[in-house]
Amino acid sequence: MTDEFDAAGYSSHDIGFGRRAAMLVVDFQRALTEGEFALGRSPYVREAVERSGRLLDRARALGVPVLHTAVAFDGPADLGRWKMPELGEITPGSAGAEIDPKVWHPTDELVIKKAPSAFFGTPVASILRYWDVDTVVVLGCMTSGCIRASIVDAFSHGLRTIVVGECCGDQQQEAHRANLADVGRRYADVVDVDAAIAGLEAIAGA
C-alpha cells in the first residue's frame, strides 16, 4: 500500500519546523489516561503519557508555550452525537477533566472542548495567533479520533504540523499506526521525541 501511495505522489516532502512553535497536547486528561475510568484503560495511551514528559520539559525550558485541551460536557444532554456515552460523565472541574499530572505544569494553558478537533468551537486558533506561532507540535490521544481531527484542522489553518508519534496513543495499536501513516502522507510530519526536541532547539538556537 505504501508503494502505491508513493507512486501517486503522496509524502513528497517534509513540512519541517518554521520560526516559532507551540506544543498542542490533545486530551491527555485523567479520564483517558488513568485506569479507574472506563475510557482510560489503554496501556498504549499510558505509555504515550510516560514518553511525553521529557519532550514537554525540554519545550518549556526552551520557552515554547504548551497548550492542553480536554473534553468536558455539561452532563449527558450536552454530549451531542458522540457514540461514547461515558464522555457525558466528564464535566468541567471533575477529576476526569483534569490534565494528567505527568504532563501538566502550572505555566501551561488549558482549553475545554466538546468536539474531536482542538480547534472546533474553541479559542485555540486565536491563542496560537496571539502567540505568533507557525508550527504546532501535536501529541496526545486518541490517535484515530481527536489527534487526527486536530491535525487536519491545524493543517487547514495553515500551520506547520509536527506529530510526535510515540507521544500519541489509542485503544488499538493498529488504529494508531494506520492513522499516523495516513496523516503523515498528507498533512503532517510524523517524528519521534528526539527529532521533535532537535527541531525545537533549532528554532530556539539552543
What string of DSSP letters covers 169-198? E-S-HHHHHHHHHHHHHHT-EEE-HHHHHH
Q: Report the interhelical angle of 173-186 vs 148-156 (nearest 10°).
A: 10
CA distance readout (Å), 130 to 29, 126, 157: 25, 6, 14
Residues 196, 199, 204, 206, CA torsion sign: positive
DSSP reduced 3-state for 167: strand
* Terminal Cα-to-Cα distance of the chain (whole angstroms): 39
CB 38 within 8 A of CB 150: no
DSSP reduced 3-state for 58: helix
- State the catalytic residue, choosing from 141, 146, 167, 168: 146
CA distance readout (Å), 113 to 9, 91, 97, 150, 187: 35, 11, 10, 11, 22
Assess whether 168 carries a catalytic annotation.
no
Q: Active-site residues: which are they?
A: 146
